[in-house]
């Protein structure tokens, strides 16, 4: 199952890339939402191989998720691979400079089942595809607005 969305952001590509690779900000956001996030690699700088383990409650059950930075191409984008007990996924973030101060952000999320339970989850997502796609697009638009606001305040 695949979800794709794109947003144009009023900020230079280098600034957008710096924000999407700001892993500490994403870790803090996950912690604020109740997740337990642990970095498990020993890299000092962002790069391929950065890894995390996350535990969070979803629909009344604790879930475990392993994340790994699979592709790191400054300032053009990144790819993150995720594995859970029932699903695996890959999120690709591509950046294109439309001008010196405008960047197109494209996010592609692909989910694949690993077990029968994973197939049931993917099937239920397919049945609710319209709502899930809308929430995905709205969340990306919110991220883009926040990024633009941070850039404008810093300028």
What domains are there in the chain, each with its CATH number? 2-154 (3.30.530.20)
pLDDT for the residue numbered 56: 94
β partners of residue 73: 77
pLDDT for the residue numbered 73: 97
CB 150 within 8 A of CB 19: yes
Give pLDDT tens digits for 72-121. Answer: 999 999 999 999 999 999 999 999 999 999 999 999 999 999 999 999 99
Q: pLDDT tier at 60 (50, 70, 90 boundaries)? A: confident
More confident residue, 60 or 84: 84
pLDDT for the residue numbered 10: 97
Answer whether residue 59 shows pLDDT above 90.
no
């Amino acid at each position: 199952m695949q979800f794709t969305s794109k947003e144009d952001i009023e900020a230079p590509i280098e600034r957008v890339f710096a924000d999407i690779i700001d892993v500490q900000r994403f870790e803090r956001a996950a912690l604020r939402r109740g997740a337990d996030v642990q970095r498990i690699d020993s890299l000092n700088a962002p790069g391929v191989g950065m890894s995390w383990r996350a535990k969070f409650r979803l629909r009344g059950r604790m879930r475990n998720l392993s994340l790994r930075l699979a592709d790191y191409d400054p300032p053009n984008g990144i790819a993150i691979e995720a594995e859970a007990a029932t699903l695996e996924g890959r999120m690709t973030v591509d950046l294109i400079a439309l001008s010196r101060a405008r960047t197109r952000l494209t996010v592609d999320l692909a989910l694949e089942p690993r077990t029968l339970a994973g197939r049931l989850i993917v099937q239920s997502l397919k049945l609710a595809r319209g709502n899930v796609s809308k929430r995905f697009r709205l969340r990306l638009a919110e991220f883009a607005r926040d990024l633009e606001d941070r850039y404008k305040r810093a300028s």
